[in-house]
A and B are shown apart, each in its own frame.
Chain A
Amino acid sequence: MTPRRSLFQKYLSVLTAMICGTLLLATIAQTVLSLREQRERADALLITEARLASVQIQSFLSAIAGSMAWVLDYDQPGMQPSLAEIHDDSHRLLRKVAALSQLRYVGADGCVRMDVSRVATDRAGKCAELPLAPTEQALLAEARQQQVAYGPVQFRDGTEPTMTIAMAARGARGGVLLAQIDLRQIHATVTGIEVGRTGYAYIVDRDGELIAHPDPIQVLRRLDLRGSPAFSAARRAAPTQATTLTRDLGGHYVLSAFTTVTGPGWWVCAQQPAREAFSPIFASLWLTLLVIVVAMLGAIGASYFLAQRMARPILAVRDGAEKMGAGALDTRIVVTTGDEVELLAHEFNRMAGALGASYAELEEKVRQRTHALELVSTQLREQAGQLAQLNAELSVRLDELALRRDEAERASAAKTRFLAAASHDLLQPMHAVGLLVGVLRLRIRYPEVSALVMKVQTAVEGMETLFSSLLDISKLDSKAVQVDLQMVDIQKLFDFIELNYQPIAMEKGLTLRVARCRYVVRTDPVLLESILRNLVSNAIRYTERGTVLLGCRREGDAIRLLVHDTGVGIPVQFQPYIFDEFYQIEDSGRAHGNGLGLGLSIVRRSAALLGLPLTLASRVGAGSAFGVTVPVVRHVAPHASPASIAGDGRDYLRGAFIVFIDDDEDACGAIEELLHTAGCHVVAGTSLGAVRRALERHLRTPDLIITDLRLGPGTSGLHAIAGLRADSGQAIPALIVTGESHAPTVQDLPGNCMLVRKPVGPSRLFLLCSEMLGAPVKAPAAVPTLLPQ
């Protein structure tokens, strides 16, 4: 397994993060504090520079004012001012103060008495000859109140800034000296102010106008700085208390400190480019960064060293364990750290030693077992050889079995073909014989001959029943019957049973009562019908008097179809055997000659094929009750029971036009004869074509079609029915009589068509025909919906 990260990387990462993180935090904290201190220092330095500049400006103005006061010493209260002295001292003042460009002495009367100029000529004269400007008048008034007044800054020739200072002499009646100052001298002072290396100072007058700046162009622009952020901040805050970081006239970030110049109310700003002001801070930051980098590199190196020292013994243990895991159990891990890792290595070594010993022991055991296995293997090889021989023999036997199976399948197929053929070929002549005997019986008038014919008919019917039973049992035995699960309406099945066996019961003087059973089950209808027919047939056979009751009982999700009779009953000791083939109870009270004993065997086989359980409850002298349980699908609405036709139906058949088709000429002849006795007009043929040729001579459409199912190779009774119906354009009622084991179901039949199985006796045939032709019916007897317990 490959680890996602090696131990060395983990240790390295953790140690590096710890040390570097701590270094970083400490450095950041220290840097922040240092930066704050340095900023305060820079601010203090700048404020000091501003104050220094202010002091210089103040000194400049104070010197001028002080000098002016000396001149006014010649104007004392109570004394007439000496203009000559004032004139002389004014010149000396001009010589002394280079910034002064003009001095004017205004007397107590407000007239200019003297005008001394540096470059212009001196003037003296009458009052009106030397007028005062309005600003000078205002200054005079202010000076007389405050002794010193400072005028606004003006620009001579648009380039030379000047300002007038007015100083009043002592005494209420003294004169005033007006001094015009060339502020370009202040420019030199301002330019000479060094604020750092690239910083400078400038002066703004009380109206916010720039009056002195190292760049004279800025001054000449007459810039109004009242709106500048720095000046606005300075005016809001107390001067010389804080610096502001703003942009200068050139848009560069600068650190500014403002102070005021008392007197003229100017603002002196010391400004230093932020980059220079903060250069110590930047230098400190760079140095700190360098230190951090060096420290971190050292930390990384130390972490690397420590991580190696920590990881090496663990990795040695890992390598040793890996080698041991690979099989080198003589490997020994050498760790001398003196801690738990060394103990771990010692344990690994001990484990390796134990594993080595165990491995050696195991190897010896393996060697022994291997030798034993070799012996066993030799035996197995011998046995394998024997098995191979047996396999060869088995293959031969299997081949023989396969041949036998093929033969059996061929035999079964042959049997199936035989049964299919017998179903038709055996029953067909029996059916024909039965019909002919029926015809004979109807035509014979002599009682004794009639009794004889009756016996023949009875024998024929018995033979038909025996053949049918033998065929059924054969089919079941040969597994020729294919279960075809369908939805089966029990009530319809009951109706069919009643229709077929009611006459038989009536002949024997018994009452066949069929209960209503409104359920639909899913089973093979043919097999279920076979079961019920055999049970009802057996019940009728073994009941001398009383009732045979067919009904159903709901039992949970299933219904039990019951056939209850009031017959002789079955002794308990014989009940397990009565479902065997050919088994009949030998009892003097039972009638002999009642079949071969195959009916219940057929019932058992059919029920087993459908997976339906059978039940039997019988008591000697009281009767029997046979039941078969079928899972129910749904309950259906009640429908009327099929009506029964009054009589045997022959009367209704009089005059009917019936078409009969059967590939057996004898059957054709027999049916034709039989139906003639009922007064029917019959057209019979062995094929559809023959019948069609015969019908060409008839204009009347047949009333009924009776046909065999199998009419020959490739043709069937269904084709014949469809053909005749198409020829006539009517849905002629049809009756199919068949002995086939795989007959179509009711759902497969066309409309208005019934299918019955051979054999069909004459009376039954008459009834069926009458029913198909719509004979009037009598109301069915009321039957209970549930069987008595």
Chain B
Amino acid sequence: MEENDPNRWAIRPIALWNSFMLDLPGNPGVPWPMRRAFLAVGALCLGAPAVAAGPLRHVACLSSPASNPEAMAAFRVEFEKIDPQLAAGVRFSEAFAGFDAERLTQLASKLNDQQPDLILCFDFDAAQAVAATRRAHAVPLVFRAHDDPLARGLIDSYARPGRNLTGITTYRCLDDKLVELMHATVPSARQIGFIHDAAMPDSGCSARARDYARHQGIALRDLSVSTPADLAALLDQLANKPAQALIIAATAVTWSLRKSLIARINALAIPAIYEGQVFVEDGGLMQFSALREDAFGRLANAVAQVLRRGGAGDFPVSQPMNFEFVINMRAALAGNYRLSPQLLRRADRIIE
């Protein structure tokens, strides 16, 4: 009888009762075994369900940047909120590539060989490396992407990603909305620079932004950077020929070099709107993007669902649900800009 057998509660008392019946006295001179009765009652009372303590499940985490304990902690908090019992039965291992692509590939291959119960990738590059080094779709993969996984070819569709992988994305095509917000911020600006990575497929998002800008009579300068050197060169170029306003998309380069980028832009006194909360936290003027707080919740939900039922490929990829428009009044030169009341009213949050 297994510990988890639901019938053990029925079988045990019956067995005890049978032991009683066999000892019924045929001769009144034989004493009744009261000790056995008490022992049996005690056995019934003391019989406690055994907790099915199975082995811990292994979730291997991979990130392309350097160690980010805050992200892991935030994820684990959300994970434990969703299913504490499941969380107690999971052990996590972390690996960081430090933005080294070769190292990332090695780590991805190694994780695939380890055959954990699940591989969790905190960024798109890590997910792509794991998917690329898979020999079979045996280990489910859950990712957090800041890109469009559909446009980047990681998934088959948002509703049914397939390939035994799923995850969340914090990406949404906001380029045209960023243009609108920047236009509302600096209505006089007729030339807005758009810093992004044109090498990344975006399903026509930037093109849509350009169309909108053109419709509004705004020239959207395409400022594509793919490497840190490109960014440095761009900033030098802006120093010589500054734009009236800037839109900075969240790319690996802009994200990783955000502080210097923000500092240079502030120094150039160019109003800029960023795509990402971290930018305003590091001094950017404005940002409009998907909220990252619920990302860990959505990611934890995806991990819990996959661990519970498997079939990662059938679990839809979660797209961002909440967005936030933040104005950082503490940004340098924030007071130089006369933000309209309408714009201020549109802000979800104003940092003062």
272-310 of chain A: CB within 8 A of chain B: 286, 289-290, 293-294, 297, 300-301, 304, 307-308
98-133 of chain B: CB within 8 A of chain A: none
Q: Is A311 close to B, CB under 8 A?
A: yes
Q: Is A477 close to B, CB under 8 A?
A: no
| Complex CA distance for A301 and B40, rounded to whole angstroms | 14
CB contact under 8 A between A88 and B342, given known A121-B177, A157-B319:
yes
Contact, CB under 8 Å: A121 / B319: no
Closest to B213 in A: A121
Report B-chain residues with C-beta under 8 Å of the C-beta of A301. 32, 34, 37
Q: Is A160 close to B, CB under 8 A?
A: yes
- How many Å from the CB of A595 to the closest CB on chain B? 99
- How many Å from the CB of B350 to the closest CB on chain A? 11
Report B-chain residues with C-beta under 8 Å of the C-beta of A220. 159-160, 316
Q: Is A8 close to B, CB under 8 A?
A: yes
Q: Is the interface of A mostly helix, strand, loop or mixed?
A: helix
Partner of A121, one of B28, B40, B180, B316: B180
Contact, CB under 8 Å: A121 / B321: no
| Complex CA distance for A185 and B321, rounded to whole angstroms | 8
Report B-chain residues with C-beta under 8 Å of the C-beta of A289. 13
Q: Is B44 close to A, CB under 8 A?
A: yes
2-61 of chain B: CB within 8 A of chain A: 9, 13, 25-28, 32, 34, 37-38, 40-41, 44-45
Partner of A290, one of B28, B45, B172, B212: B45
Q: Is A415 close to B, CB under 8 A?
A: no
153-204 of chain B: CB within 8 A of chain A: 157-160, 172-174, 176-177, 179-180
Closest to A158 in B: B159
Partner of B317, one of A119, A159, A315: A159
| Complex CA distance for A217 and B306, rounded to whole angstroms | 11
Contact, CB under 8 Å: A8 / B28: yes
108-129 of chain A: CB within 8 A of chain B: 117-122
| Complex CA distance for A188 and B172, rounded to whole angstroms | 20
Q: Is A98 close to B, CB under 8 A?
A: yes
Interface hub of B9, B173, B321 (most chain A Cβ within 10 A): B321
Contact, CB under 8 Å: A304 / B180: no
Q: Is B338 close to A, CB under 8 A?
A: no
| Complex CA distance for A158 and B45, rounded to whole angstroms | 54
| Complex CA distance for A220 and B41, rounded to whole angstroms | 52
Contact, CB under 8 Å: A293 / B44: yes
Interface residues on B, range: 35 or more
Contact, CB under 8 Å: B176 / A121: yes
Partner of A217, one of B26, B315, B347: B315
Contact, CB under 8 Å: B316 / A6: no
Contact, CB under 8 Å: A92 / B34: no
Q: Is A692 close to B, CB under 8 A?
A: no
Mark interface residues in A183-203 (1 if CB within 8 Å of B CB, else 0): 011000000000000000000
CB contact under 8 A between A92 and B316, given known A157-B159, A159-B158:
no
Closest to B314 in A: A217
CB contact under 8 A between A159 and B316, given known A88-B345, A91-B345, A185-B321:
yes
Interface hub of B27, B157, B159, B347 (most chain A Cβ within 10 A): B159
Contact, CB under 8 Å: A311 / B28: yes
Closest to B17 in A: A293
660-683 of chain A: CB within 8 A of chain B: none
76-92 of chain B: CB within 8 A of chain A: none
Contact, CB under 8 Å: A91 / B342: yes
Report A-chain residues with C-beta under 8 Å of the C-beta of B342. 88, 91
Partner of B316, one of A182, A216, A297: A216
Contact, CB under 8 Å: B41 / A294: yes
Report A-chain residues with C-beta under 8 Å of the C-beta of B45. 290
- How many Å from the CB of A93 to the closest CB on chain B? 11
- How many Å from the CB of A27 to the closest CB on chain B? 15
Contact, CB under 8 Å: B28 / A315: yes
Closest to B342 in A: A88
Report B-chain residues with C-beta under 8 Å of the C-beta of A158. 157-159, 316
Contact, CB under 8 Å: B28 / A91: no
Closest to B211 in A: A121
Q: Is A215 close to B, CB under 8 A?
A: yes
CB contact under 8 A between A121 and B9, given known A88-B342, A217-B315:
no
Q: Is B260 close to A, CB under 8 A?
A: no
CB contact under 8 A between A159 and B345, given known A120-B176, A121-B176:
no
Report B-chain residues with C-beta under 8 Å of the C-beta of A120. 176-177
Q: Is B135 close to A, CB under 8 A?
A: no
- How many Å from the CB of B117 to the closest CB on chain A? 19
| Complex CA distance for A185 and B28, rounded to whole angstroms | 75
| Complex CA distance for A216 and B314, rounded to whole angstroms | 11
| Complex CA distance for A739 and B155, rounded to whole angstroms | 145
Q: Is A757 close to B, CB under 8 A?
A: no
Report A-chain residues with C-beta under 8 Å of the C-beta of B325. 95
Closest to A275 in B: B6
| Complex CA distance for A315 and B27, rounded to whole angstroms | 12
Q: Is A9 close to B, CB under 8 A?
A: yes
CB contact under 8 A between A157 and B158, given known A121-B177, A215-B305, A217-B315:
yes
Q: Which residues of A contact B (CB under 8 A)?
A: 6-9, 88, 91-92, 95, 98, 117-122, 157-160, 182, 184-185, 215-217, 220, 286, 289-290, 293-294, 297, 300-301, 304, 307-308, 311, 315
Q: 18 pairs across A/B with beta carbons < 8 Å?
A: A6-B27, A6-B28, A8-B28, A88-B342, A95-B348, A98-B322, A118-B323, A119-B323, A121-B212, A158-B316, A159-B158, A159-B316, A185-B321, A217-B315, A220-B159, A293-B13, A297-B37, A301-B32
Q: Which residues of B contact A (CB under 8 A)?
A: 9, 13, 25-28, 32, 34, 37-38, 40-41, 44-45, 157-160, 172-174, 176-177, 179-180, 212, 305, 314-319, 321-323, 325, 342, 345-348
Given contacts A6-B27, A293-B44, 8 further A-B contacts (CB under 8 A): A88-B345, A157-B158, A158-B157, A216-B315, A217-B315, A294-B41, A297-B40, A308-B28
Q: Which 3 A-B pairs have the closest CB atoms?
A: A8-B28, A158-B159, A121-B180
